[in-house]
Amino acid sequence: MHLHKYEKVWLVFGLGSLALFLIIIGFAAFWKGTHPQSHIETIDPQNVEANEAFQPENLGLTEVAEGKYVVNMVASAFNYDFGKEEDGSATKTIRVPKGSTVLFQITSKDVVHGFQVAGTNVNMMVEPGHISRFEAVMKNNGEFTVVCNEYCGIGHHLMFGTVEVY
């Protein structure tokens, strides 16, 4: 078989580009251990309560300053633990005033879940062993549905909640 000189040049260029790409991806993934940027802090998924943020009494919504809130949440198959209402019942709703800054801190006890507040820019992957964090300003009034957007098993569709901005 005879290859034209330019065919050889382009073949080498193509294979070289592929090799370079794989080297860069491999370096980032395996040597640097790159994860999504919101997943910097690690946690033991068997013992999330060891982290103060995920102790049962600290779950759910807390106002930390004027107009600033933190939401701590534990995701597990097939539930988001939003903490409790004042009467002790489990809640599925978070209520914040319009214009609030809300820091969501979420972890998973078991498998990969999602946490998306539909209609806002809050959309995270929640991995066991990591703490997912995202701070958002709630600019618009309304009821926004929280959904799990990573298929996590038979009860995936049961994972939902609401963020109400008033």
Q: Which stretch binds ligand CUA (CB under 6 A): 31-39, 48-56, 91-99, 147-155?
A: 147-155
The contacts found for 84-87 with CB under 8 angstroms, 24 or more apart, are: 84/59, 84/60
End-to-end CA distance of the chain: 73
Q: For 23-141, where are the E strands, in sequence order?
A: 60-65, 68-76, 79-81, 93-96, 101-108, 113-117, 123-126, 132-137
- Report the residue number, 100 or 132, with the smaller CB distance to ligand CUA: 132
Minimum CB distance to ligand CUA, residue 79 (Å): 9
How many C-beta atoms lie closer than 10 Å to residue 5's C-beta?
7
Is residue 152 involved in binding ligand CUA (CB under 6 A)?
yes
Shorter beta-carbon distance to ligand CUA: residue 127 or 150: 150
Note whether 156 binds ligand CUA by CB under 6 A: yes
- Only segment of 15-23, 27-35, 88-96, 150-158 that touches ligand CUA (CB under 6 A): 150-158
* Residues 151, 157: Cα–Cα separation, whole Å: 9
Regarding 159 and contact with ligand CUA (CB under 6 A), the answer is yes
Q: Is 150 in the site for ligand CUA (CB under 6 A)?
A: yes
Instruction: Yes or no: say if 149 and 114 are a contact pair by the CB < 8 Å rule.
Output: yes
d(CA 107, CA 138): 21
Cβ distance to ligand CUA smaller for residue 68 or 156: 156
Decide whether 62 or 123 has the Cβ nearer to ligand CUA.
123
Q: Which residues bind ligand CUA (CB under 6 A)?
A: 78, 113, 148, 150-152, 156, 159
